[in-house]
Amino acid sequence: MKPRKIPLRKCVACQEMKPKKELIRVVRTPDEAVLIDLTGKKAGRGAYLCGQVDCFRLAKKSRALDRALKQTVGAEIYDQLAQDFIAVEDEFIASKDEPDEAEEA
Ligand SMILES: [Zn+2]
């Protein structure tokens, strides 16, 4: 039996490769807003960060999102993202525990 292939993405802050599920997608929308995208489906250029506040802080320090999104991301936007992340953290953690759709009982 072959193990199922898990899509990996790289965190732009710590550069670690992780399963997509464990990362938070940050998207630059076509109107140049930078938002957390928990659905992973918003249109725009995306960047991934670990689902932990430390990586938002690291991204801010290293301006990793600026590079990944090819746009200047203000300090207040990094702060906003970190705050938004704290607000959605429970939801994010809960969604990680959901079984994949193929695993219905
Ligand atoms: Zn990270």
* pLDDT, tens digit (0-9, with 9 covering 90-100), for 10-42: 999 999 999 998 999 999 999 989 999 988 889
pLDDT at 85: 86
Task: Tell whether the torsion through CA atoms of 73, 78, 79 and 84 is positive or negative.
Answer: positive
pLDDT at 40: 85
Instruction: State the distance from the centre of ligand 1 to the C-alpha of 85, rounded, in angstroms.
Output: 14
Residue 44 structure tokens: 């725009």
Q: Is 50 helix (H, G, I), strand (E, B) or coil?
A: strand
Instruction: State the distance from the centre of ligand 1 to the C-alpha of 1, rounded, in angstroms.
Output: 31
Q: Is 26 helix (H, G, I), strand (E, B) or coil?
A: strand
Instruction: State the distance from the centre of ligand 1 to the C-alpha of 41, rounded, in angstroms.
Output: 20
Q: Looking at the domain that runs over 9-91, which CATH code has it been given?
A: 3.30.1230.10
Instruction: State the distance from the centre of ligand 1 to the C-alpha of 49, rounded, in angstroms.
Output: 5
Across the chain, mean pLDDT equals: 88
More confident site: 102 or 72: 72
**34 touches 81 (CB < 8 A):** yes
CA 55 to chain centre: 10
Ligand 1 ion: residues within 5 Å (CB): 11, 13-14, 50, 55
Q: At residue 104, does pLDDT exceed 80?
A: no
Of 18, 35, 38, the C-alpha closest to 69 is 35
Instruction: State the distance from the centre of ligand 1 to the C-alpha of 105, rounded, in angstroms.
Output: 33
More confident site: 10 or 84: 10
**11 touches 18 (CB < 8 A):** yes
Model pTM score: 0.81
- In the DSSP assignment, the letter for residue 99 is P
Q: Domain limits of the chain?
A: 9-91
**13 touches 62 (CB < 8 A):** yes
How would residue 87 be classed by pLDDT, with cut points 50, 70 and 90?
Answer: confident
